[in-house]
Amino acid sequence: MHVFLTGATGFIGSHLVTELVGTGHRVTGLSRSDAGIAALARAGADAVRGDVNDLPFLRAAAEAADAVVHAAFDHDHADMRRHSENDRRVVETLGAALAGSDRPLVVTSGTGLVRSGNGGPALETDGHLSSAEFPRAATEEAADALIAAGRHVMVVRLPQVHDTHRQGRITWQIQLAREQGSVAYVGGGANRVSAVHVGDAARLYGLVLASGRAGARYHAVAEEGVAMRDVAAAIGVRLGLPVASIDPGEAQAYFGWMAPLAAADLAASGASTRRELRWDPFGPDLLTDLRAQEPLVR
């Protein structure tokens, strides 16, 4: 297939380009810079220069493809609502570009947006929070509307995606620990995050494109739940910093905007995804990558 990919030079997108090109697809990646265009060429992909928020341009690029994977998102937490509403419009535009066809659109969301219905790990069949509750859910709301309109849309929900350089929101926690001079977790630290190695996540996108069901949600989860006290301990060892529990009332002062996430239990299951798509993640686990984290202690 000819796949149009947004976020093609990002953390996940750059791995996805390699995965898709390696499995025989023609990839056209979106980039705003000369460096990004050069990186795509080195990876064997075509490139178009543009901005994901230039909606007429985006629609034209999507109309020229057999399939679209939307992996771009601006994670600036200082203006999350605006970026989330921008992403809603992006998804709506991509869906409009594929109207009247069975060409697939794969949309990226997160397991942290799922409203678990069973009190346990979030499942693929669970619904999501509203954008009024959490702005990032605007993406899934846009996907819902396209699915209801009969578009061939699938959603990949990501947990903490990691390698030795980046670990999702835990990367911010590492930066915060350096600034604070200590590593903290909330209460007993039994709350969990789910995780996946970036290479395994890229392979899942390829499987979803090849054999995913229209309207389905897929969880790119290799590890269902890693306790935050274990995450904090791994960070502390790697940075050579003390690790301590803090009371919930102290979380805002230490974590700032990240306080609600630092205390939340964000376990998620990918069991259904594994069975359906025969996805077998094999990359290093989160704690292994944290212990080998780059750059080294400063």
Q: Which among 126, 27, 132 is positioned nearest to 88, based on CA atoms?
A: 132
Cis peptide before 242 (omega within 30 of 0): no
pLDDT band at 158, cuts 50/70/90? very high
Q: Which among 176, 185, 281 is positioned nearest to 227, based on CA atoms?
A: 185
pLDDT band at 298, cuts 50/70/90? very low
Mean pLDDT of 64-93: 93
Q: Assign residue 135 the CATH number of its domain.
A: 3.40.50.720
Domain count, the chain: 2
**DSSP H helical segments within 109-242, as ranges?**
138-148, 169-180, 198-211, 228-239
Helix %, strand %, coil % of the chain (to 5): 45, 20, 35
Q: Is residue 296 part of a domain?
A: no
Same domain? 211 vs 233? no
Mean pLDDT of 261-271: 94
Q: Assign residue 235 the CATH number of its domain.
A: 3.90.25
Same domain? 74 vs 93? yes
Q: Does residue 293 have a pLDDT over 90?
A: no
For residue 295, what pLDDT is reported? 58
Domain boundary pick from 221, 239, 271 = 221
Q: Does residue 112 have a pLDDT over 60?
A: yes
Same domain? 53 vs 175? no
For residue 168, what pLDDT is reported? 87
Same domain? 46 vs 176? no
Q: Does residue 107 have a pLDDT over 90?
A: yes
For residue 296, what pLDDT is reported? 43
Mean pLDDT of 248-258: 93
For residue 44, what pLDDT is reported? 97
pLDDT digits (tens, 9 = 90+) for 165-200: 999 889 999 999 999 999 999 999 999 999 999 999
pLDDT band at 7, cuts 50/70/90? very high
For residue 266, what pLDDT is reported? 94
The token pair at 169 is 């929101």
Q: Is residue 286 part of a domain?
A: yes
Q: Does residue 288 have a pLDDT over 50?
A: yes
* CA 39, chain centre distance (Å): 21
- Pairwise CA distance, residues 193 & 129, whole Å: 17
Same domain? 83 vs 144? yes
Q: Is residue 232 part of a domain?
A: yes
Range of the domain at 285: 162-194+224-291
Q: Is residue 78 part of a domain?
A: yes
Same domain? 79 vs 98? yes
Read off the amino acid at residue 255: F
Same domain? 179 vs 276? yes
Read off the amino acid at residue 34: D
Same domain? 273 vs 208? no
Q: Is residue 72 part of a domain?
A: yes
DSSP 149: T
Domain boundary pick from 206, 221, 236 = 221
Same domain? 115 vs 248? no
Helices 80-97 and 138-148 cross at an angle (nearest 10°) of: 20
For residue 80, what pLDDT is reported? 87
Same domain? 61 vs 202? yes
Q: Is residue 36 part of a domain?
A: yes
Long-range own/partner contacts, residues 24-32 (CB < 8 A, 24 or more apart) = 25/1, 25/209, 26/1, 26/2, 27/2, 27/3, 28/2, 28/3, 28/4, 28/61, 28/64, 28/65, 29/5, 30/4, 30/5, 30/6, 30/58, 30/61, 30/72
Q: Is residue 88 part of a domain?
A: yes
Q: Does residue 115 have a pLDDT over 80?
A: yes
Percentage of the residues of the chain whose pLDDT score is greater than 90: 91
For residue 282, what pLDDT is reported? 97
| Residues whose CB is less than 8 angstroms from the CB of residue 24 and which lie 6 or more positions away in sequence, other chains included | none
For residue 297, what pLDDT is reported? 41
Mean pLDDT of 207-222: 98
The token pair at 204 is 């899942």
CB 56 within 8 A of CB 63: no
For residue 26, what pLDDT is reported? 98
Helices 169-180 and 228-239 cross at an angle (nearest 10°) of: 50
Mean pLDDT in the chain?
95
Mean pLDDT of 118-141: 93
Strand residues in 95-170 grouped as ranges (E): 105-110, 153-158, 160-162
For residue 212, what pLDDT is reported? 97
The token pair at 54 is 């230039």
CB 72 within 8 A of CB 94: no
Q: Is residue 297 part of a domain?
A: no
Domain boundary pick from 221, 237, 257 = 221
pLDDT digits (tens, 9 = 90+) for 40-57: 999 999 999 999 999 999
Same domain? 284 vs 270? yes
Same domain? 137 vs 283? no
For residue 76, what pLDDT is reported? 76
Read off the amino acid at residue 68: V
